[in-house]
Structure 1
Amino acid sequence: MSLKYIFYPKSVAVIGASKIEGKVGYAIMKNLKDFNGKVYPINPKYDEIFGMKCYKSVLDIDDEIDLAVIVVPNIVVPKVLEECGKKGVKGAVIITAGFSEVGNYELEKKIKEIAKRYNIRVIGPNCLGIMNTHINLNATFAKIFPPKGHISIISQSGAVLNAILDIAPLLNIGFSKVVSIGNKVDIQESDLLEYFKDDEDTKLVVLYIEGLKDKRFLKVAKELSKKKPIIALKSGRTEMGKKAAKSHTGSLAGEDVVYESAFKEAGIIRAYTFEELVDLIHLFSTQPVIDSNDIGIITNAGGFGVLAADSCVDYNMKLPNFEDTTVDKLKDILPSSATISNPLDIIGDATPERYKKVIEVLSEDKNIKGLLVILTPQEMTKPLEVAKSIVEVRNTHRSLKNKPLITSFVGGVSVKGAKSYLRKNGIPAYITPENGVKALYKLYKYSLIKVKEDYDEYVEKVKEEFLKITKNNKEIINQLLQNPNEYNAKKLLSIYGFPVPKGYLAKNEDEALEYCKKLGKCVMKIVSPQILHKTEAGGVIINPDNPKEAFKKLINNAKEYAKKNNIDNLIIEGVLVEEFIDRDKIEIIIGGKRDDIFGSVIMVGLGGVFVEVLKDVSFGISPITRDFAIQMLKELKSYKVLEGVRGRAKKDINFIIDTLIKIGVFMDIHKNIKEIDLNPVFVFNENEGGCIGDVRIIK
């Protein structure tokens, strides 16, 4: 059933309405007094509330009810929801708390079953309620009803919602739909995002998330972000989330990095602090998006212009030359001592009129797609008057309609009023030039999200090929996955065309000698399901002089390790004898982890100290397209190592990209695999490919 009955009801029943000030039922009735539709209070204790007839039950009303707002004690909720079902109520907002959030899972399950049986769409329980400013619907117990606007917000916290609504008047921003989502017994974030996609009154969507249980979220968010910006604040960034398995991928893929990857994949603009969330709401609700990173900077202090230029390098923003006509006009406006370049220093004695004229000229320059105006207080500066001139030129100059205008008023006491004036008039004002550049970067970055191509022909081709391989080799694949030790895991990957070293599993000393002779320079590794990190157990010997003695040593080391680590019933399946990869290479790690909500999470990082100590890794949600794989690699601080530094050869980056794509597809096909680690993956020089040195699969 459509959510329109929740957001655009013609009639609302308040079940648990009250006459007593301080009660939630009283606050909701009071907040609904200006609602454009009909309101029906329900409470067997009263005959009337606020001059309206009060009913004993929703069943007593001689009218259709679109929305029920339920504020009765938790044990009564199933009874009144059942009555709503019999009445044919289409939507319900359950404000009442005391369900799964306090461990009362059975009661929550009961209301879920009732809602499903009667096809009632439910928000909550344990929520603040909902608002739709466009029809004066305030079905909440919040103190503030915001002005009408085009921002829709979904929050798992009523307190965060209240704080944003309280700040909104200072920024002069309005809202469309406000939803406190509560325990999400029925309606999930994806349902709301899907609705907002085609809601004409919603231009910007804001999310406050504590955790998701919504498997459709990624798909729906991706669709919405192509049409409208989504800003999200996710709490709990520092928690590791669920206890990971013992692989590198599992230990590094904490809850937050998975969400980070999901937001990246979905095109969601992430805020990392509440302050940043508020800044982003103001920015995206007042400024147009730009499809170019060419910006212009105006400043009355050269030093801050330089800091802004440095920040442009950090955020990959460009400072193009002005058009010739712009230069000519600026010569007539600026003192002869002024140097006309970008950033443009309009000198410390800049008047409000000079600011205004310079902004007008640069707004018409076709090379400039966005403007940052910096002011620092000096003896002759009038910050508030400058702010007023900026607002005036923004409101009167048509060429600024499609160009963002951002300000950085650097200072404290003397610029406080000016910044407040700018914000109230729809112009973001920051305390630093760096934040001003960052704001323009965010507007540009969103334009890239809108044009990002999700379909990747090569990914689809790999998927088709891997599905065919799976079907044709079903028996052997199932057999190998029953015991995915390193030897079997490599055999499995080789079926799908992943490059692995030539190797044999030696069961005794004689076989170890035979295989070493066959391979020449080789490496010997213990194979045991209880020993995941072989080097810690002394389970690796490179190029042994005496393979028989090496075999014995590996077995003894494994037994000693098991004894030291209290591993009972040690299983040793043999010793893997493999060719030694003796060529110019670099080691990286590639991994995959199964997430309950988002599916396959893929990781990449440089090996050795980079992953063990620096944790220099990047994550993405499958499917990994070529563009996304490149983005993942470029996020690594150590990426330049792959490109070749200090005379070292460039490595085969295309091989890494290809492996990331294929591991994503492999994980999507084999849903019984919880984690996979390819560590190390040897990457050879450019155009020479690579080879998977070790594999660990956890089912």
Structure 2
Amino acid sequence: MLDAIFNPKSVAVIGASNIEGKVGYSIMKNLKAFVEYSPDNKVYPVNPKYSKVLGFKCYRSILDIPEESIDLAVIAVPAEYVPTVLEECGEKSVKGAVVISAGFSEVGNYHLEDEIRTIGRRYNIRIIGPNCLGIINMYNRLNASFSKEYFKEGNITFISQSGALITAVLDIAPLLNLGFSKIVSLGNKVDVQESDILEYLIQDNTTKVVVLYIESIKDKKFIDSARKLAKVKPIITLKGGRSEEGVKAISSHTGSLAGDMQIYSAVFKKGKVLTVETFEELVDLMHLFSTQPLMEGSGLGIVTNAGGFGVMAADSCRKYDLTLPDFEPSTVEKLRKYLPPTSSISNPLDLIGDADTDRYRHALETLIEDKNINGILVILTPQEMTKPLEVAEVVVDIKEEIERRKLSKVIVASFVGGVSIKGSKSYLRKNGVPAYISPENGVEVLSRSYKYSIMKVQEDDCRYLEDIRSQLMEVKEENLDTIKELLSNPNEYNSKRFLKLHGIEVPKGYLVKTLEEAEYYGSILGDVVMKICSRYIPHKSDIGCVVVKPEDVGETFHRIMERGENYLKERGIKGEIDGVLIEEYIEGMELIVGGKRDKVFGPVIMVGLGGVFVEVMKDVSFAIHPITREYALDTLRELKSYKVLEGIRGRPKRDIDFVVDTMMRLGLIMELYPEIREIDINPLFVKEEGKGGYVGDALIIIEDEGYIGTEMGSRKYNR
């Protein structure tokens, strides 16, 4: 059905206008090229005010158009009239609609948006918008938008929730000689979502690169659609609204740390989507992927006439996970013939400050033959002997040679300077060689190309995940009554029993209600930790209700119970204290592992540095369930503290498999128990490799728990 939107034969413009400056005028003006492109293409203006619009016969209603059905309707009328117009489109068997009109949910008119969604579904009309710029297909000259005209065929499809970003990209495009396949402004996304277009683009032969600007995603299908497309075409995404400001803290560590951007980062990671943080990065990657082959290995060759900038590029290679391989012996031998004795034949290759055009040419012709080199970064600074424009011409010649011979090599440039290199950089960009302001930029974009070459071929092995799912489903079936009882009162003791039942180890412990019980179990366990146990007291440490290795178990029992009772009394909380949890003292590296239920993407699992510093350090990473072993490991490797798990400076390697298994189990637990809103394990004690670990503290939050009021809802847990 989306083909009727992107490749229509008939287009009705409802709200067409003869008045310059009106949206309906701009759309009609833009659609002239569509009619001129093919005699089979038809455009029908619709507006009861006119008999003709820009030379086209105008109709009072879409129902008056003589054609039996219309492929695409472009609607640009005031918001309150859109439902009526869309009803008429349904009667006319319109297949697709682009609703340009604003005045819907963006200004609080949700009922109007619901109404047009309902009408669209009733008549099976696919709708883009409302509140959008429109759409463009370069290959049939369809400009169903009020953007300015720009028709350069290329391989980029740009999908954006912001019309302003589209107009900015189209204004930059001529400077970089960028060509597009399609431009899509999604607006409020009442119907067609990013996922619909991503799936459509899988079979679109004119699209090689997909670029997204996203402010929000409304459907979980995005992940699967992106993964399918990313196997064949790179997806580059800039997410708007990255800051944590305005994100409301909720009641667990996992919830409070799972801000909007953290969730989206996990979504993009699972969807194999390349992400950028700035508009500049977006344009840089757009240019690279649309003009160059993939960098299929990590080996970068650097050619420079400035040793300092070569060093800076080499430093960036370490940061961005690229390597500087030694040149092959045959490469070194060829280079010696053309380079002066003072030139060091190594990688980076310093051509010396007096490098002329021929020296660059010989070096680049030699490097494209070297099997160790997957990508080339050409650095130039203005020198007396170096002619920037001539060197730029050489670089373009080499790029064309790579294309002619179908070599798997990437070439980019960093001509560093100002006035004297301005023309050469423009020449490079217009001829398909990305040129960057600094060597570091060049290394970074090449690293993204290499990263995508790995991402696109990675496959998930789901067998172990399915084995655990079978185990946990069996646990649930065999223990329904016990589980129901545990989740009806998810204090720490019951939460830990629930987790142990599902294969996550907990310390040996007992819930004691009397002094005698406390002293008895304390004598059995040895070194212990004692904690108040009540679902109504989340902040146990804050009020002195957690005691590690108490000297007098009996006295500590009394003190903890007294403090817990005072806490409830002072706050007017009508809740019970279930007793004191006394359990064996456990040591190990402290992590946090938790789960949160996102309203769009479902269970999200967090892992990070644990203990009391989690809120300060925020060394955490997120993954979207379902989580395979390799996906869990990739998520762990994103942590700054991951190297500590591997063992550094004489410290033992930790049981990483235990952490991975815990992450997978938590995701499945949240899948199997939809009533669980959040799970928080902090700390998760991780022992040495092969020795597993234990849940140090656990919190389970159930949906719609009545006791979660201002006290718990307004503060983070700090146990």
TM-score under structure 2 normalisation?
0.94
Distance 1:291 1:580 in 2: 50
Q: CA deviation at 1:263?
A: 0.6
- 8 A contact 2:332–2:345 mirrored in 1: yes
Supply the distance in 1 between the matched residues of 2:238 and 2:94 (Cα, whole angstroms).
Answer: 33
Match of 1:679 in 2: 682
Secondary structure in 2 aligned to 1:149?
strand
> Counterpart of 2:597?
594
The answer for the alignment partner of 2:383 in structure 1 is 378
Distance in 1, matches of 2:342 and 2:553, equals 81
For residues 241-286 of structure 1, the C-alpha deviation after alignment (integer angstroms, 9 at most, x for no partner) is 6524221111111000110111111111101011111111111111
Deviation string for 1:427-471 (max 9, x for gaps)?
111121111111111110001111111233211211121122112
Tell me if the contact between 1:649 and 1:685 (Cα under 8 Å) persists in the aligned partners: yes
Show the counterpart of 1:443: 449
Cα displacement (A) at 1:648: 2.2
Q: What's the CA shift string for 1:584-610, capped at 9, x where partnerless?
A: x21111111111112211111122365
Contact 1:610 1:616 in 2 (8 A): no
Query: 1:90 is matched with which residue?
Result: 95
2:233 to 228, 234, 247: 228
The 5-angstrom pairing of residues 684-699 of structure 1 reads 684-699=687-702
Task: Give me the whole-angstrom Cα distance separating, in 2, the residues matched to 1:496 and 1:72.
Answer: 57
1:301–1:345 contact (8 Å) kept in structure 2? yes
Higher deviation after alignment, 217-226 or 510-519: 510-519
Number of residues of Structure 1 aligned to a counterpart in Structure 2: 695
- 1:402 maps to a residue whose letter is S
Deviation at 1:568, TM superposition (A): 2.6
Map of 2:716 onto structure 1: none
State the shift of 1:400 in Å: 6.6
**Residue 170 (structure 1) aligns with:** 175
Letter in 1 for 2:9: K
Could you say if the C-alpha distance between residues 665 and 685 of structure 1 is closer, same or farther in structure 2, counting changes exceeding 3 Å? same
Show CA shifts across 1:273-303 (max 9, x none): 1111111111111111122101211111122
Q: State the partner residue of 1:285.
A: 290
Which shifted more, 551-560 or 254-263? 551-560
Letter in 1 for 2:671: D
Which stretch shows the higher mean deviation, 305-314 or 543-552?
Answer: 543-552
Q: Specify the alignment match of 1:648 in structure 2.
A: 651
Alignment CA distance shift 1:402-1:191 (3 Å): same
CA offsets, 1:324-383, max 9 Å, x none?
221111111111221211111111111112111211110011111111111122232211
**Aligned pair 1:322/2:327, yes or no?**
yes
Task: Note closer, same or farther for the CA distance 1:609–1:679 as it changes in structure 2 (3 Å cut).
Answer: closer
- What is the identity, as a one-letter code, of the residue corresponding to 2:71? D
Unmatched 5+ residue regions in structure 1? none
- Partner secondary structure for residue 617 of structure 2: coil
Shift of 1:681: 0.9
Aligned-pair CA distance for 1:562? 4.2
**Superposition deviation, residue 537 in structure 1:** 1.5
User: How many angstroms does 1:670 deviate by?
Assistant: 1.9
Q: Is the 8 A contact 2:16 2:45 kept in 1?
A: yes
Matched, 1:613 2:616: yes
Indicate if the aligned counterparts of 1:154 and 1:180 stay in contact, CA closer than 8 A. yes
1:134 corresponds in structure 2 to 139
Aligned residue runs from structure 1 range 624-635, under 5 A = 624-635=627-638
Corresponding residue for 1:509? 515
Structure 2 residue 536 is matched with structure 1 residue 536: no
Which of 427, 431, 435 is the equivalent residue of 1:425? 431
- Aligned 8 A contact 1:240 1:256 in 2: no
The secondary structure found in structure 1 opposite 2:187 is coil
Q: Is the Cα–Cα contact under 8 Å of residues 248 and 677 in structure 1 kept in the other structure?
A: yes
Flag the structure with more relative contact order, 1 or 2, with Cα contacts below 8 A and sequence separation at least 6.
2
* Structure 2 letter corresponding to 1:373: V
- Give the secondary-structure state (helix, strand or coil) at the position aligned to 2:182: strand
| Structural mapping, 1:517-596, within 5 Å | 517-562=523-568, 566-581=571-586, 585-596=588-599
Q: Write out aligned runs for 1:286-305 (5 A).
A: 286-305=291-310
Between stretches 504-513 and 265-274, larger displacement belongs to 504-513
How far 1:414 moved relative to its partner? 2.0
Three-state SS of the structure 2 residue aligned to 1:406 is strand
Q: Which runs of 5+ in 2 are unaligned?
A: 703-719
Q: Does the 8 A contact of 1:11 with 1:65 survive in 2?
A: yes
State whether residues 25 and 71 of structure 1, in contact with CA within 8 Å, keep that contact through their aligned partners in structure 2: yes
Superposition pairs for residues 401-416 of structure 1, below 5 Å?
A: 401-416=407-422
Q: 1:192 aligns with which of 191, 197, 200?
A: 197
Give the letter for the 1:667 counterpart.
Answer: M
Q: Distance in 2 between matches of 1:250 and 1:642?
A: 24
Percent of pairs identical after alignment? 58
Distance 1:481 1:563 in 2: 25
Residues 257 and 615 in structure 2, CA contact (< 8 A), matched pair in contact too: no
Q: What is the rounded CA distance, in whole Å, between the counterparts of 1:134 and 1:401 in structure 2?
A: 28
Moved more, 610-619 or 441-450: 610-619
Which residue of the partner structure matches residue 642 of structure 2? Answer: 639
Equivalent residue for 1:39?
A: 43
Work out the CA distance in 2 between the residues paired with 1:11 and 1:455: 47
* 1:481 lines up with 2:487 in the alignment: yes
Partner of 1:670: 673
User: What amino acid is the match of 1:520?
Assistant: G
**Residue pair 1:161, 1:180 contacting (<8 A) in 2 also:** yes
Q: Which residue pairs with 1:30 in the alignment? A: 29
SS in structure 2 of the partner of residue 678 of structure 1: strand
The answer to whether structure 1 residue 183 and structure 2 residue 188 are counterparts is yes
Q: Report Cα offsets for 1:67-91 as digits up to 9, x if no partner.
A: 0001111111111111110111111
The one-letter code matched in structure 2 to 1:116 is: R
600-609 vs 383-392, which deviates more? 600-609
Bigger Cα displacement from structure 2, 529-538 vs 223-232:
529-538
Structure 1 vs Structure 2 CA RMSD: 1.5
Contact 1:131 1:140 in 2 (8 A): yes
Residue 70 (structure 1) aligns with: 75
- Checking the alignment, whether the CA contact within 8 Å between 2:137 and 2:181 is kept in structure 1 is yes
Range moving further from structure 2, 599-608 or 484-493: 599-608
How far apart are the structure 1 equivalents of 2:481 and 2:519?
31
1:32 alignment partner, SS class: helix
Out of 68, 83, 86, which is 1:81 matched to? 86
Q: Distance in 1 between matches of 2:23 and 2:115?
A: 23
1:659 Cα deviation (Å)? 1.5
Q: Give the counterpart letter for 2:58 in structure 1.
A: C
Task: Report which stretch shifted further, 148-157 or 651-660.
Answer: 651-660
1:608 maps to a residue whose letter is G
The 1-side partners of 2:204 and 2:353 are apart by 48
Cα distance in 2 for residues equivalent to 1:456 and 1:345: 48
The answer to whether the 8 Å contact 2:425/2:435 transfers is: yes
Query: 2:339 aligned with 1:334, yes or no?
Result: yes
